[in-house]
Each structure stands twice: as C-alpha cells, then as structure tokens.
Amino acid sequence: MTFHDNLAEYADLIVQVGLNVQPGQYVQIHTTLDSVEFARLVVKQAYKAGASHVDVQFSDNTITRAFYEQAPDASFDDVPKWVAAQRDELIDRKGALLWIDAEDPDLLEGIPATKISRYQKASSALLKRYRKAVMNDEITWSIAAVPSGKWANKVYSEVSEQEAIEALWNKIFEVVRVGQGTAVEQWKAHIEQLNDRAAYLNSRNYTALHYQATDTDIVVGLPKDHIWMSGSSVNSDGVAFIANMPTEEVYTLPDRMRVDGYVTNSKPFIYQGNRIDGFKLTFKDGKVIESTAQQGGELLNELLTTDENAAYLGEVALVPFDSPISNSNTIFYNTLFDENASNHFALGEAYPTTIQGGKGLTEEQLLEKGANVSIVHEDFMIGTSDMTIDGILEDGSREPIFRNGNWA
C-alpha cells in the first residue's frame, strides 16, 4: 500500500472504529494546523459515514506559546465562555469528539509552572460538565495522532525533519495496525482479546495488586465493586467506541485510600508541553507524601497540588512489556503512545465507569465507594521488563498476574 493508501485507511479506521460515527451524528474535531491535510480526510470519511455536521477547530502552537509568554497575568485565571458552550452543544447533540494530536512535546518548556497550573484549573472549572460527560462515557470521544515536525524531531533527533516525519508516520501506521488494508478487522479482533483479559481479571475479584520492580514497591488496593475494562467503551446510547488509538491496556480504579509504597517512572511524562522525568512518588494511605524528580519537579508539584485529590491515584492500567508499541523500542514523548507501551497509573480522577453503578453518582457517592474525584487525570508510565505484579485475594493469598514485565 502507498502512503496515501495508508492515510485513507487510518482516517477510515478512526471514523469506523474510533468514533464509530452514526448516521445523523454531529462531530467535533480538535487539532492543530500541523494536521490540516489529515483532518480533511477524516471529515470526508465522517460525512461518508452519515455525519450531519463536522466542525473542526484548529489551534496553532506558536499562538499558544505566545499566550503563555505575553498574555496579561489575569488571563491565566480566565477562560472564554464560548469554550464551554461549544462542548455543551456537543453533549446536548450526543455528538462525537475527536482529538487529532500533533502537539510539540516541548511546547511550553520554560513557561512558569504556576501559569500552566492556573490556566489548567480555570479550564477544568469551566469545563466541568464536559469532563463529567467524558469520564462517564456519556458521549463518544477518541484521541488519535499524526506527526508534526517538532514532535517527529523529538522522537528521531538524528535525521532531517522530513525523514523524521516519514519515520514517525511509519511507526504510527505500524502500531495502529494500518498498512495491510485490514485495519478495521484487526482492531475488532484486538479489542476482543483485551475484553477477554478484562473478563478474567473481573472473575478473580482481587482486593489489591502488589507491584515490584527496580525502584518500585507498591501495594494498590482495589474497591470491592471495581470493574476491569478494555479500550472499548460504550456511550449513553449503547454505541461502542475506542477512546485511545492505539490502545493495549486493561484498566480499573484503585481504592483511593489504600495505596502504600513507592513507584518510579519508566518513561518521560509529558505534561502541558513540558517533560517530567526521573521522578519517584511515595504514597501513604493513598496520598503522595513525597515526590522527587530529576526534571520538571516544580511542575510535578503543581500537578500534585492542583486540588485536594490530585495527589491520589485514579487509574491502574496493565500493559505487557512485550507489546507492539513497547517492542518498537521507541519513546514517543506522547502519553497516548507511551502509556500503551507500559503499565501505568493516573493521578487524579477515576473513571466512574470502572466501579459498579458508578455512572451518574455524585462526587460524594463516588468518594464513599473509594473512587477518586479531581479536576485532573494524568497518566504516567511505570512498567519495566523486570516488573512483577501479584493479585491479592480476600483471604490474603496471592496469584501471579505479571512476571518479567508480561502477563503470567
């Protein structure tokens, strides 16, 4: 298949499997100017699938950087109300939302952490209804990615920008199973395998997981009614979609108050256009009580103090070390890819969908069930080739889940 054939297959895969666009459905696409050509392909495919309207909002990295460098101080506590109105319309119309990620991993390097944190808080407060809709799978949403020059050069720093873009395109096609003309069929089989993993874990009903590896030794409690899920979700109308493309994980929520021990990151954590790396988090009774970082420590502390629950975990996800993205031996500097090459945790909010009866519960009710509630949800990678994970049953006995970084 030619490059253009692969592009067409990728766009079709996103529309058919990622978004699973339904006849008459409203679609919103958010992306940057680096992905204009690909966005056009997705729009055409969405209309072929029967979309009623496809609205695209483009951002520009240079303009975004200029905002953080030059905007008045008060601007970082003020988000325009039209941003919420746009998302409200998406929810009201039961639409589908697509993020096409082409961000520069170093976009906000050097920007004061307090500016980034303040604007994050203001955005989260304004978009509270939207965040709830996403976390509860009320609407269809999906994230995919295309190369930008800055991102490609970050991943492949020893070649020209054009060579780097071509190499990153090829790697993306590989890990999303594009290139043989059978991507849709391959994805259906892949999701079925992940669903089988989740079903097995649900049948065991572990009360906790014990992670051990170099510089990691942590016990993560699981709530009584936790649910393991795969990358396949179902919206409020019963329509399936894939939130992350690629996805290799099965995941659930931890008991927010029963996390004890320490964990070290295994891949760089790209947060708000900055790199946080070489960090270690120590937990007691669920909360991070100590953090150290070789790079990005100030921003990490800002994240951990975003609100009163940002220092608690909201997600535990299992991904074997021997998986397509990990085996590519590529650090993508992009959480969408790197989290699907590694076991990972998320700081902040838990998905209500990962606990029985969680959809529609109030924040207080979720907290009572052991689910964390926060305005942030940020994944960071912890998986290594020597990682061992034991599942702990109610009677205290243990079963092997991972050995040497892979499923036992």
pLDDT in tens, 359-407: 989 999 999 999 999 999 999 999 999 999 999 999 999 999 999 999 9
- What is the Cα–Cα distance from 389 to 317, expressed in whole angstroms? 12
- What is the Cα–Cα distance from 139 to 25, expressed in whole angstroms? 11
Among 248, 169, 122, CA closest to 5: 169
The yes-or-no verdict on residue 323 having pLDDT over 90 is no
Q: Residue 111 CB: number of other CB atoms within 10 A?
A: 18
> Tokens 């055409």, residue?
44
Among 11, 43, 42, CA closest to 178: 11
- What is the Cα–Cα distance from 27 to 90, expressed in whole angstroms? 8
pLDDT of residue 190: 96
- 74-122 pLDDT per residue, tens: 999 999 999 999 999 999 999 999 999 998 999 999 999 999 999 999 9
- 128-173 pLDDT per residue, tens: 999 999 999 999 999 999 999 999 999 999 999 999 999 999 999 9
Q: Is 284 helix (H, G, I), strand (E, B) or coil?
A: strand
pLDDT of residue 304: 98
Backbone angles phi, psi at 214, to 5 degrees: -55, 120
The yes-or-no verdict on residue 342 having pLDDT over 90 is yes
Q: What H or E segment, with its residue span, contains residue 256?
A: none
> Tokens 């029963």, residue?
258
Residue 120's Cβ-side half-sphere holds a number of Cα atoms within 13 Å equal to 22
pTM: 0.94
Among 63, 66, 82, 57, CA closest to 115: 66
Q: How confident is the model at residue 324 (pLDDT cuts 50, 70, 90)?
A: confident
Backbone angles phi, psi at 299, to 5 degrees: -70, -35
